[in-house]
Structure 1
Amino acid sequence: MEPEVASPRRWSVIAVYMAVNLVVQTLWISYAPISRSAESYYGVSGFAIGALAMVFMAAFLPLSIPASLLIDRRGHRVAVGLGGVVAGLCGVARGAVGPSYGWALLATVGIACTQPLLLNSWTTVAARWFPRRERATAVGLVTLANLVGTGVGMVLPPALVAAHGPAVIGPMQLWIGMAALVVGIAYPLLVTDRPARGDVDLAEHALQTHGMRHALSVGPFRRYLTAIFIGMGIFNGVTQWVADIVAPRGFSATDAGNVGAAMLLGGVLGSVSLAAWSDRVDRRVPFLVAGLALAAPATLGIALASSLVGLLGSAFLLGFFLVSLMPIGMQYAVEITWPTPAGTSNGLVQLCGQAAVVYVALLYVARTPGGSYWPGLALSAALLLVGAMRFARAPESHEHHARASTLEG
């Protein structure tokens, strides 16, 4: 059921929701740009520091479906509030334990366990508070918040370590955890599950009869899951290993930070502008096909560019086209799998994206003896092109449902 009048509170709701996602995203990535300093601080290997980020994707796999069920049955107010508070408590604990890697890893596992409650509720918040014509835009804004959170996690830690040395890592984690705790407590106090009018998409209540089995029976949805697995694997892999990717070509750690910043800037602009454009024309497939196809040469640029300008340009374009797959594609997933609830389809998308931790690890394993990542990135570019060609045959959601109705009739 499409709300007749959109609630003006929807923008304050999405703002608070964005804040929770932003801070937890910062907790996720905050070790990546200071991996060498973190190795010294904790006295462990580089892969052990990388595990502090990869554990988020690993924890997502068993917890995504239970999180989606909680969101669908208890609402995003309870689920996101719980996730924010637990993430904040574990973030504070991670900072409080100081240079003890074992305890820091345990606290990180606690933070990682809350992430499905946030990521799987994106389209639920959009469906309950926004009219259909604004939902991809709403998800685009949440994507923006995640990118800004990633940006803060990429920029703030190196600046603090440069100013105060590795000893600042513990206090920094403590303060980020406190920020997560504050917004986590604020969320259930400031947000309700839906507008007071009670307008809601009736598909939300269809979990018992049209759940995951129905969603997975939809061919275009399965194609999107494949695309998001590849796309998220590339994005997370480049984000996680950016310093190692560019180092064999003589680029510095500062250059690596700038590459990450360029990719995030492109992602910010792409996720908001392309999602809004998709909403205006009420089409999803052309944007998804173009995003997959145009991300392929950008991925090759990341792998092979020998100049800083070429590298930064490739990073910007990769972020612009690849990140836009998320808000537009997630709304497409909700529409194409109707009447599967938004939380369920969103959870399956996020589950597939987070399963790309396997892809991230494979990029690391597939390096050449000289440390170059070009074999894995070249394969990634080829897979993006294959995905674009397969998705070019996918129907828009209204075409799919019209065809299904005709067959049933």
Structure 2
Amino acid sequence: MMEAQPKDETNLNLLERKQLEQVEPEIRAYKSRWIVLTIFIVYAAVNSYQWVEYSIINNIVMKYYNVSAVTVEWTSIIYMALYAPLVIPASYVLDKKGLRVAGLIGGLGTTLGTAIKVFSTGRDSFWLVLLGQGIVAASQLLILCLPPRIAAVWFKPNEVSTACSLGVFGTQLGCALGFVLSPIIVQNHESVEEIGSDLKVLCWILTAVMIPGGLAVIFYFPLQPPKPPSITQVQERSRTEKFSTKSFFVSIMDLCTNIPFVIHVIAYGINIGVFSAIGTLLNPIVLQYFSDSPNAEEFIGRAGLVMIVIGMVGSITFGIILDKTHKFKETTFFTYLMSSVSVVAFMFALEMKSKILVYISIGTVGLFTNAYMPVGFEMAMELTYPSSEGTTTGLLMAPSQVLGVIFALLMSYLTDLIGPFWSLGTQALLLAIGTVITCFVPNKLKRQEAFKQRLNEDVPLKVIER
């Protein structure tokens, strides 16, 4: 009997230890999270570059392929047009299969679509341009949904907003490079043969950059870290293990009946739709004011670059502000209001035909419309917690893509009918309406409440950096 006592105590200690582990799981933040985020930023940038690859040199592409302006605009619009019908399947893949499968489809799809366009430089091969753009645009669906998921799955609670902003930074970086590099690489030559050579160089450069990115996704883009970085991810993993198609569609119905989220979706859709329309039509709008200026295409590209680069700074800055202050509603409203004001400033800068004022005003447009992107993401996560980040992001982005198509086509029509000043005025009005709608979004920070509840528990949670 004396010998049995230590054994019983040992068994009891083991049982207690297991119970403690179940109550208090090990939380770790791995340094490799920055590698995963960097890989995503690279291929997200190549994907988003192609959104404006042709539209920013609209007049040159029209000349080379002998197609209409609207046809060239569809190389950009197709990004938005494919989103609505494919968003639910993309969200399903992300929720059911996780980051690795979503990353593979997004990365390898972007690689394939980019490579196809290498063969599209014949003057009768514009259909290959549209095919490649279609594949890249379809791949974008899984890319746009990933920043909040990567941030939540890999990063500590006090890093989530910053990590999400850095993920969105990849998309914005690609847009910035697209605005500035395409007009530099593809010049408006008198000879169409020289234009064709420039287009071939552009397509090969993008393919050469994307192939290593695709390989990096194959060999180093895990499903998730071995240990979760937060208690919310412990709970998320439990839900993922019980994933079913029925639960997925139930979660969609829950989101669609979440009134605060629905209000935010409408406001978000207007803002991003306006930004997409302006980015798509930047060339024809600005060209009407500066067509006599030498190297007008390069000036327009630099203006687009200023818009996106300052926007990237704004995205990261406001992401850090959110992590520090948790003032989600206030930050969302402020960035939205200033988006509307900045478009009005851009309108008058164009009327004055001042390049300096155009740079300044388009910079403010970028600062606030780009900053609103990650801020809007994070606000949506707060309103819908504990719903899946992928599904939430997919539903958040869907109306913005549909509205982007509508606004771009409307702006194109109004620019021809009443001029670019008033067509931009309609976009400023839409942003003003969106600002008012944002006032009605309740300030319900469900995710922050969950973090606070955890911090108020008896046993403090320690996050291990590894």
TM-score (norm 2): 0.81
Distance 1:2 1:88, change over 3 A: farther
Between the aligned residues of both structures, percent identity stands at 23
Distance 1:71 1:81, change over 3 A: same
Contact conserved, 1:68 with 1:121, CA < 8 A, in 2? no
Q: Measure how far apart 1:266 and its partner are.
A: 1.9
Of residues 209, 232, 239 in structure 1, which corresponds to 2:279? Answer: 239
Q: Does the 8 A contact of 2:267 with 2:437 survive in 1?
A: no
* Matched AA of 2:415: R
Answering whether residue 74 of structure 2 is matched by residue 51 of structure 1, we say yes
Could you tell me which residue of structure 2 aligns to residue 89 of structure 1?
112
2:267 counterpart of 1:227:
yes
Of 298, 302, 314, the match for 2:342: 298
Distance in 1 (alpha carbons) for counterparts of 2:301 and 2:142: 29
What CA distance in whole angstroms lies between the structure 2 residues aligned with 1:3 and 1:366? 58
What is aligned with 2:438?
A: 391
State yes or no: 1:158 paired with 2:204: no
- RMSD over aligned CA atoms reads 2.3
1:132 equivalent in structure 2: 157
Partner of 1:98: 121
- Map 1:189-208 onto structure 2 (within 5 A): 189-199=219-229, 200=233, 202-203=235-236, 205=239, 208=247
The 3 A distance-change label for structure 1 pair 397 and 116 is same
Asked if structure 2 preserves the Cα contact closer than 8 Å seen for 1:88 and 1:182, the reply is: no
Give 1:401 shift.
9.3
**Alpha-carbon separation, structure 2, partners of 1:2 and 1:172:** 50
- In structure 1, the residue corresponding to 2:426 is in which secondary structure? helix
Contact 1:270 1:324 in 2 (8 A): yes
* Structure 1 residue 365: Cα displacement: 1.5
* 1:230 partner letter: I
Q: Would you say 1:339 and 2:362 are equivalent positions?
A: no
Aligned counterpart for 1:217 among listed residues 252, 257, 280: 257
* CA-CA distance at 1:113 after TM superposition: 1.4
In the other structure, the counterpart of 1:322 is 369
Q: CA deviation at 1:285?
A: 0.7
Describe the SS at the equivalent of 2:445: helix
Match of 1:360 in 2: 408
1:149 aligns with 2:194: no
Is 1:28 matched with 2:51? yes
Match of 2:309 in 1: 265
**What amino acid maps onto 1:245 in structure 2?**
I
CA contact (8 A) 1:57 1:354 kept: yes
Distance 1:141 1:211 in 2: 27
- Name the CA distance, whole Å, in 1 between partners of 2:343 and 2:286: 13
Check the 8 A contact 2:251/2:387 in 1, yes or no.
yes
Is the radius of gyration larger for structure 1 or structure 2? Answer: 2
Amino acid in structure 2 at the alignment position of 1:317: T
Aligned equivalents of 1:167, 1:275: Cα separation in 2 = 41
SS at match of 2:386: coil
For 1:2 and 1:327, the matched residues in 2 are separated by: 30
Deviation (angstroms), 1:181: 3.1
- The count of corresponding residues between Structure 1 and Structure 2 is 401
Structure 1 residues not aligned, in runs of 5+:
403-409
- Residue 211 of structure 1: SS of its match in structure 2? helix
Question: Matches of 2:370 and 2:47 in 1, distance apart?
Answer: 18
Contact 2:285–2:415, Cα closer than 8 Å, also in 1: no
Write out per-residue CA displacement over residues 46-95 of structure 1, whole angstroms, 9 at most, x where no aligned residue. 22111111111111111111001101110111111122112212211111
1:111-122 map, 5 Å = 111-122=136-147
Unaligned runs of 5+ in 2: 1-23, 450-466
Matched to 1:216, the amino acid is C
**What whole-Å deviation, never above 9, does each CA across 1:340-383 have from its counterpart, x for those lacking one?**
1111001111212211211111111122536x222232222223
Say if 1:283 and 1:396, in contact at 8 Å, map to a contact too.
Answer: no
Distance 2:336 2:168 in 1: 17
Instruction: Return the alpha-carbon distance in structure 2 between the equivalents of residues 62 and 315 of structure 1.
Output: 32
Structure 1: 4+ residue segments shifted above 4 A: 399-402
- 1:298–1:315: 8 Å Cα contact kept in structure 2? yes
CA contact 2:103–2:221 (8 Å) conserved in 1: no
SS of 1:28's equivalent?
Answer: coil
Distance 1:399 1:71, change over 3 A: closer
Q: Secondary structure of the equivalent of 2:29?
A: coil
* Range with greater deviation from structure 2 (354-363 or 164-173): 164-173
Q: Secondary structure at the match of 2:50?
A: helix
- Determine which of 232, 238, 249 is the counterpart of 2:289: 249
Equivalent residue number for residue 209 of structure 2: 179
* Counterparts of 1:157 and 1:265, CA distance in 2: 16
Supply the AA of the counterpart residue of 1:365: Y
Tell me by how many angstroms 1:152 deviates. 1.4
- The reply to whether residue 369 of structure 1 matches residue 409 of structure 2 is no
Q: Secondary structure at the match of 1:349?
A: helix
TM-score, scaled to structure 1: 0.91
